[in-house]
Chains A and B, each alone.
Chain A
Amino acid sequence: MWRIFLEKELKDSLQSARFVVTSLVSIALIALSFYLGIAHYQARLSQYEQSQQMMLETASQQTNWMAASVFAFRKPDPMEVFVNGINSDIGRYSEINQMRGIKLVRSEFGDDPMLAVFQFLDLSFVVQIVLSLMAILFTYNAINGEKEGGTLKLIFANQISKAEFILGKLLGNWVALLVPFIISFLIGAMLIIAMGVEMSAAHWGRFAIFAFSAVLYFTCFMLIGVFVSALTKRSSLSFLILLVCWIVSVLIIPKAATMLAGQAMPVPSADEIESRIASFSTQARTEFFASMNKLFAERFRPVEGQSQEQRDQFVRENQERWQQEEKEIRETMDKKIAEYSARQYEDLYNQKNSQELLALSLSKFSPASAFQLVAMKLGGTDTGLKRRYEDAMKDYRKQYTNFLSDKGGGHGGIRLSVSNGRGTVSAAEPKKINIAEMPKFSDPVYGAGEAINASLFDVGLLALFNILAFVGAFVAFLHYDLR
């Protein structure tokens, strides 16, 4: 029996101009965002290659390793085609320097504020908007529309059980929605191949899971659509309710979650932390000098009023001990400051983590945020991206620092020049550094296994939403008044 309904729903959709036009628009939008994603990725890739090339060329002109400025660049990943995540928010590279720590600078949004204003409309976002809207648009009157058209009574004047009907109805609507989805994703996959994006098997695997969770995502909205439609008598009412649901879960919850978390748990800014540390170290230093002064006064008390000779003798005898003493006090102070600043940063990290956690748990109430999380974790463009790169760059900085000290503390050759008034004459032609000796930065590995593991929870959450909505739709229809 369900087969009759499946066929009917499909036919009904395909023969409806509304469905066909909406599908075509969705297909075009999704295909377009595939295309834009690919173009964006490729532009980033060539920019990456150019910057790296330029860095190497400039460095190879140097004669002194200390003078070479070395940078580590973030390599664009093909998964960015599907989900941009925080990719454009964080810097593209960091200087690798003995003196300074790692700092990712020059983010895309920083360079191009227009991009930030309009946000980068990546595939995951377009999917979130378009597929959910479509799902709602074609199910808001799934049940009550049949009632309004009088067909529900006609159907149930036959030997049909409610369970058969609702299952056939859901399946039919689902398959109808699957058609534009599959077409648009096939076009997307073909674009990826045709435009020559280098995707490994692992990348395709992650893409497949992304597609699967997109199916879970729109299925969820479809089920909610049927559910609400089976709770209401009039389709105008169910449309209104669903529109509100859609706005809340797609537009409000993901944003509000971050905002609420920010208000519930204010996290100090980096500037605030730094000024706190600065004032702490000033204070520590003042204390240090005060205690040193006191110390000096005490040290010379035994020889007070004695001759210069005796005093010198006294100093000579105690000098070593005193130096040791001073060193210890200084070290204690440095340690205190270091500990304080480490604690501040750790607190900040923990607070940020719990803020993020709160935001994430609040957003768990929306399938849209769940889907976005799945996408970002699969794509590796989640909040962990920055940390992964910073860690890899820190490792590289150590490697590079060791390399420099191997190169003799960074002294490649001393350049002597004498000015004779007419120009500079070099005493010895200095040798240029061999850039090939330099250690290479390797990007952090974010494997398919890790990506899938990270996204599993939210995929499960999406599945749970589906189960709940399915049970809701099913039970609501079993109690639906057919008249």
Chain B
Amino acid sequence: MEQHATISAEGLTKIYEDGVCALDHVSFAVKPGEIFCLLGGNGAGKTTAINIFLGFIPPSQGVAKIHNVDIHRDPLEAKKYVSYLSDVVMLYPNFTARQNLDFFARLGGKHALTRDDYYTALRRVGLQEKAFEQKLKGFSKGMRQKVGLAIAIIKESPAIILDEPTSGLDPKAANEFQTTLLGLRAQGKAILMSTHDIFRAKEIADTVGIMNEGKMLAIKSRKELEHEDLEQLYLNYIHGKVAA
């Protein structure tokens, strides 16, 4: 039996008030245990798509579903099943890592967590122990990103959406990040992430969706990519040398 997609877009279109067409009939689906990478350059429409999935903006056309709930129709119900890590993660500088985690965990409906639960989550994303009870003020971008990921994890939702989670991280931090994601995939989460990092995408993604100027040019599975040079493919696509 075909497995149900946890995250799905059908003919998603977004035309901004100023007439910019940021998304043009984009469709894709992410199944449980799958990492789907939206790959595209600046202005390709990745963030726009993600914003639609979180109900921050309405689509002009098409449907975005999470756990089979139309996010635009019933945003509060759909948001039960998704956790999110945004591209800007400053979090609350006056809170410690644990306090940040605690606040967002309770917003996510986790009211009965203990200090140990928080520590477990923070350990899982690879934050050093001594930072657990330190204020975020002094944290590096990588450390904040880890706390952000812990926030996404602790909600234990079936869908996880990440907007450029590895941009600005050093190779070691990005690698740790990747390891955590693979663990989540193994747990059966459906993960949608955007990136402009071709190598990262090739390494981690089960499926890569190549986007340019609001269009989904191609969706390639890991198997299909095994024998191809993704970089060449990407450049070809965006230069229109290959028909989609």
Question: Are the C-beta atoms of B54 and A4 separated by less than 8 Å?
Answer: no
Within 8 A of A (CB), among B160-212: 161
- CB of B82 closer than 8 Å to a CB of A: yes
Residues of B within 8 A of A12 (CB): 92, 94-95
Candidates B77, B91, B103, B135; contact of A150 at CB < 8 Å:
B91
- CB of B225 closer than 8 Å to a CB of A: no
Per-residue interface assignment for chain A, residues 445 to 483, with 1 indicating a CB less than 8 Å from any chain B CB and 0 otherwise? 000000000000000000000000000000000000111
- CB of A15 closer than 8 Å to a CB of B: yes
- CB of B89 closer than 8 Å to a CB of A: yes
Known: A15-B95, A153-B86. A8 touches B79 (CB 8 A): no
Q: How large is the interface on B (under 10, 10 to 19, 20 to 34, 35 or more residues)?
A: 35 or more
Question: Are the C-beta atoms of A150 and B90 separated by less than 8 Å?
Answer: yes
Known: A149-B88, A149-B91, A154-B84. A160 touches B107 (CB 8 A): yes
Known: A149-B92, A151-B91. A159 touches B54 (CB 8 A): no
Per-residue interface assignment for chain A, residues 1 to 19, with 1 indicating a CB less than 8 Å from any chain B CB and 0 otherwise? 1001000100110011000
- CB of A98 closer than 8 Å to a CB of B: no
Question: Are the C-beta atoms of A11 and B95 separated by less than 8 Å?
Answer: yes
- Distance between B69 CB and nearest chain A CB, rounded to angstroms: 12
Cβ-closest chain B residue relative to A17: B94
Question: Are the C-beta atoms of B95 and A156 separated by less than 8 Å?
Answer: no
Cβ-closest chain A residue relative to B55: A156
Expressed in whole angstroms, the Cα–Cα distance for A149 and B95 within the complex equals 13
Count of chain A residues near B, Cβ 8 A: 23
Cross-chain pair count, CB within 8 angstroms: 75
- CB of A325 closer than 8 Å to a CB of B: no
Candidates B51, B88, B93, B107; contact of A4 at CB < 8 Å:
B107
Candidates B76, B99, B107; contact of A155 at CB < 8 Å:
B107
Candidates B88, B94, B106; contact of A15 at CB < 8 Å:
B94
Residues of B within 8 A of A308 (CB): none
Candidates A8, A15, A157; contact of B135 at CB < 8 Å:
A15
- CB of B15 closer than 8 Å to a CB of A: no
- CB of B109 closer than 8 Å to a CB of A: yes
- Distance between B15 CB and nearest chain A CB, rounded to angstroms: 16
Question: Are the C-beta atoms of A150 and B87 separated by less than 8 Å?
Answer: yes
- CB of B49 closer than 8 Å to a CB of A: no
Question: Are the C-beta atoms of B79 and A157 separated by less than 8 Å?
Answer: yes
Residues of A within 8 A of B107 (CB): 1, 4, 155, 158, 160
Expressed in whole angstroms, the Cα–Cα distance for A73 and B107 within the complex equals 65
Candidates A157, A159, A160, A483; contact of B84 at CB < 8 Å:
A157
Question: Are the C-beta atoms of B56 and A11 separated by less than 8 Å?
Answer: no
Residues of A within 8 A of B89 (CB): 150, 154
Residues of B within 8 A of A150 (CB): 86-91
Residues of B within 8 A of A161 (CB): 76
Cβ-closest chain A residue relative to B80: A159
Question: Are the C-beta atoms of B84 and A153 separated by less than 8 Å?
Answer: yes
Known: A8-B103, A155-B107, A157-B79. A482 touches B87 (CB 8 A): no
- Distance between A152 CB and nearest chain B CB, rounded to angstroms: 9
Expressed in whole angstroms, the Cα–Cα distance for A298 and B120 within the complex equals 122
Residues of B within 8 A of A155 (CB): 104, 107
Cβ-closest chain B residue relative to A147: B88
Residues of B within 8 A of A111 (CB): none
Residues of B within 8 A of A11 (CB): 95, 99
Cβ-closest chain A residue relative to B81: A159
- CB of A49 closer than 8 Å to a CB of B: no
- CB of A331 closer than 8 Å to a CB of B: no
Residues of B participating in the A interface, judged by any CB pair closer than 8 Å: 51, 54-57, 76-77, 79-80, 82-95, 99, 103-104, 106-109, 135, 148, 151, 155, 161
Residues of A participating in the B interface, judged by any CB pair closer than 8 Å: 1, 4, 8, 11-12, 15-16, 148-151, 153-161, 481-483
In the complex, besides A1-B107, A149-B92, A157-B84, 5 extra interface pairs with C-beta distance below 8 angstroms are: A12-B94, A148-B88, A150-B90, A151-B90, A154-B85
